[in-house]
Amino acid sequence: MVAYGGKLYYNPGLPQVRAFVEDAILDAVRKYPVDGVHFDDYFYPYPVAGQTFDDDAAYDAYGGGFSDRAAWRRDNIDKLIRETAARIEQVRPGTRFGISPFGVWRNSATDPRGSDTRAGVQTYDDLCADTRKWVRENWIDYIVPQLYWNIGFAAADYAKLVPWWAEVARGTKTRLYAGEALYKAGDPAQPAAWQDPAELSRHLTLAAKYPEVGGHVFFAARDVAVDSFGAMARVVADHYQGPAKAPR
């Protein structure tokens, strides 16, 4: 365990840690007829100012042959994803394996393949998670990037991220679903766009232009049920009047 940001984290650089995580998941997959296994956005922890994730010992033991620590860390996470996917398929074929990562892989200023964004966190660099690679290599069945920003948000515009992710998924076997920040709707701490109940409905209208987007996932479930601001009711009225289609 590594202390970081006031919390304890498992160290994915240790093979025994990856095996422990995979074994725990596969125990559930083996015992229960689950439809899918879903990972959220935590791989290496989010940056905390003034603190360093201390994996020196693991890097010294296992990091030989890598150009730098970040490359070694990304390889650790790649192994976790590939191995988990393979083991799920072996134990219960047809069970879907997917991930909902932070919505920005890399900014275009960092990498020309990246999105036209200026996000303060880049998944590839800061969390050591090469989410674009997982999609392009068909390692996962679906991806739900957390596109938790409004249309027109300067640092990470929903209207720019949807086409970027659609291009990433195009021609692959990985299904793309857009992660939607229902929890921001009506929150006075959020930008003005989120004070309009129609903001999320506009997201679905925009995403409908891209056939790669197979649907939307709204965070959080409690906000779907309560819908105190009426944003979900507006989405339903504008987009969900017919029977729901089964995920493809």
| Rounded Cα distance, 105 and 122, in Å | 5
Q: At what angle do helices 69-91 and 15-31 cross, to 10 degrees?
A: 20
- The one-letter amino acid code at 33 reads P
Average pLDDT value for residue range 133-147: 98
Q: 90 versus 242: which is more confidently predicted?
A: 90
Average pLDDT value for residue range 107-135: 98
How far is the CA of 102 from the CAs of 35, 106, 110, in angstroms?
A: 23, 10, 17
Cβ–Cβ under 8 Å, residues 126 and 47: yes
Residues 55-70 pLDDT 10s: 999 999 999 999 999 9
Residues 163-174 pLDDT 10s: 999 999 999 999
Q: Cα dihedral sign for 149, 151, 155, 160?
A: positive
* Residue 31 structure tokens: 């015992």
- The one-letter amino acid code at 186 reads G
Report which DSSP code applies to 107. Answer: B
pLDDT of residue 246 exceeding 90: no
Average pLDDT value for residue range 40-45: 91
* Residue 82 structure tokens: 């590939």
pLDDT of residue 248 exceeding 70: no
At residue 102 the predicted structure's pLDDT band, cuts being 50, 70 and 90, is very high
